[in-house]
Amino acid sequence: MRRRHFLGTAAMAASAALAPGVGSAARSGAGMAQRLPRPLSPGGTVALVSPSSAVSDPFDLQLAREVMEALGLRVTTGAHYAARRGHLAGTDAERAGDLNAAFADPQVDAIVCTRGGSGAARLLPLLDYDAIRANPKVLLGYSDVTALHCAIQARTGLVTFHGPIGTGSWNRFNADQFRRVFFERELLRYENRIEAGDELVPRRNRTRTLTPGKARGRLLGGNLTVLTALAGSPYLPDFDGAILFLEDVSEAPYRVDRMLTTLSLMGVLDRIAGFVFGECTECDPGDGYGSLTLSQILDDFILPLGIPAYTGAMIGHIREQFILPVGGEVELDADAGTLRLLAPAFAGG
């Protein structure tokens, strides 16, 4: 452990020397007090905003509204949530303005992102972190929304939520997760739903233990590509003692290898207490000379850490997915393949 701590400290120092933004990011998150969002209840108002890519089919926006209403919520929309500028849902100023307005509006109880895609990181210098800190409320989304989760955690300490987007699938599992997390405010134990179907032994939604054991810490992470793209910026939270969760989509294994290398060189992996990898959807190596498998890559980077770790959690670009509190206190059980919320994720809860 002493050697690992020394290596992690050395890596952090080297990283900070090469890229001052990495050091400033760590300092901005260090000692940041956790801030909990206000509870969300049936009848509350949710704002649909589009901080990333544009929604191509207006019917999808109608469905997003109907889903929120079916969950028992009232809906308002960002002024530019249906806008389009190239692949983006409006200009940077328009998209950031919609987010800032939603946080500042006392009538809005929660913010749900319509979709991910690309572009949220462009907004980070334009967000009003003082207003976000003063008006803590639910923010829900995943994939490209990882940029918002990271920056808001680093700058305000506010717990946000990694989970389904407004235009995504709102199947029975996801709707049930939403009610249990936000309305009933359960201290959930996140465990994969496994059904054998007509198989003698279940094959889907299986987890794999990398290193056994349990670990506790703040839950941080999200989309691997988006998170590593923030390297060198002041918008990454402090990962000391954290439980890191990652997922991705349509990335060849060599690219996953490159991004985990980045996290290792930054010193992030040497500072975490536990690790869970969700799904890397459509991450096949494709044609060519050959490739390490995703399992080999994870083994190479995670096993030497000696920390509790597992893969296969229902996190990522999949139909049924967990709604996870980014910045919440959790316990990881690598043997059971579970995450357990240790403390309420809402103010007054």
List phi, psi (to 5°) of 150.
-65, -50
Task: Give the torsion through C-alpha atoms of 258, 259, 265, 270, to 10 deg.
Answer: -130
Q: Which neighbouring-strand residues pair with 345?
A: none
Give 222-260 pLDDT, tens digit per residue: 999 999 999 999 999 999 999 999 999 999 999 999 999
What is the C-alpha separation between 308 and 74, in angstroms, rounded? Answer: 41
Kindly list the structural domains of the chain, giving each domain's residue range(s) and its CATH number in brackets, ordered by start. 2-30+189-193+201-341 (3.50.30.60), 45-183 (3.40.50.10740)
The pair of three-digit structure tokens given for residue 173, joined into one six-digit string: 């599992």
Give 275-302 pLDDT, tens digit per residue: 999 999 999 887 766 789 999 999 999 9
To the query of whether residue 87 is one of the catalytic residues in this protein, the response is no
Local confidence band at 22 (pLDDT 50, 70, 90 cut-offs): very low
Q: Report the pLDDT value the prediction gives residue 201, as an integer from 0 to 100.
A: 82
Q: Report the pLDDT value the prediction gives residue 288, as an integer from 0 to 100.
A: 66
To the query of whether residue 250 is one of the catalytic residues in this protein, the response is no
The pair of three-digit structure tokens given for residue 81, joined into one six-digit string: 């949530």
Which residue in the list 50, 317, 329, 331 is annotated as catalytic?
317
DSSP state of 180: I
DSSP state of 183: I
Task: Give the torsion through C-alpha atoms of 277, 40, 110, 37, to 10 deg.
Answer: -70
Which residue in the list 143, 149, 233, 279 is annotated as catalytic?
143
DSSP state of 158: B
Local confidence band at 198 (pLDDT 50, 70, 90 cut-offs): confident
To the query of whether residue 279 is one of the catalytic residues in this protein, the response is no
Which residue in the list 94, 247, 279, 329 is annotated as catalytic?
247
At residue 56, the 3 state secondary structure works out as coil
